[in-house]
Amino acid sequence: MCNWNIPNTLSMVSRNRDLSNLEVADLFQVELCESQSLERRSSLEDAAGVLLYIDDGFEDRTHCGIGCRFMRLDMALWFAYANRMSLYSIPNGRWEYTSSQVCPRRNHECYFQSLVSNPLQEWLLDESTVRMVNSFDAAKLKSNEDMLSVNLWSRRSLDSFRNVHQFGFVWLRMSKLVSGKSGCWVAAQVLYYLLKLNKMLETAIMKEKERLYWNSGQNRCIAVHVRYGWRS
């Protein structure tokens, strides 16, 4: 699949799971990878469509934690895939659960593997857009949206995703690969792509598992509280 977005020690499939239906899921991961890969183009060809994810809280009406944030990111990548664009993280983010000391960019790549194959400046031919994207925060990018040669995904993008695109259900009929699949299936596959840990976070988790003697052979249990609701 992708050589920049690869399974790690926490991406393994349980041995107890029926693996007979994973072929379509693997093919979908390949298509996601291809949609997030840079295609070399000459200056006479159209540049690859870029969807810049700037939803880092500046338009929020209510608090949005990490679960809410990944739900929105999932929708954005589903939109980008269906519309032949590549989703890209904002270089100057303000994701609430990130640390400015550990990762000044405060975006998705602080803790997870890269969404795309190449840096943004290799996707864009417009130097003015590259300069603004690399120096502006989310709110300033939104206020200068008409001057950018990229598409922006912010909190307000969810409105058309719900009302116009019916949460992506309209695209299920457009692809033979996902035809007959549910929205939950697509969301799960997109999350699998998004939630691959980078080396720093993977190492930290493995050290914590060692501290807890997680692989000692003894039965271990994690209690997880899942709140059902719509907070976006």
Long-range contacts of 93-102 (CB under 8 A, 24+ apart): 93/56, 93/138, 94/56, 94/57, 94/58, 94/137, 94/138, 95/56, 95/57, 95/69, 96/56, 96/57, 96/64, 96/65, 96/66, 96/69, 97/65, 97/66, 97/69
Helix axis angle for 183-194 and 66-82, nearest 10°, is 110
The span from the CA of 165 to the CA of 114, in Å, is 27
Q: Are 88 and 120 in contact (CB under 8 A)?
A: yes
Look at residue 52 and give its three-state secondary structure: strand
Neighbouring-strand partners of residue 112: 197
Q: What is the mean pLDDT of residues 138-158?
A: 93
Out of 68-72, 76-80, 89-93, 121-125, pick the least confident: 121-125
Instruction: Report which DSSP code applies to 92.
Output: S
pLDDT at 140 over 90: yes
Out of 38-42, 141-145, 165-169, pick the least confident: 38-42
Q: What is the mean pLDDT of residues 144-153?
A: 93
Q: How confident is the model at residue 202 (pLDDT cuts 50, 70, 90)?
A: very high
CA-CA distances (angstroms) from residue 182 to 177, 179, 225? Answer: 12, 8, 25
CA-CA distances (angstroms) from residue 121 to 16, 133, 134? Answer: 44, 10, 9
The span from the CA of 8 to the CA of 84, in Å, is 27
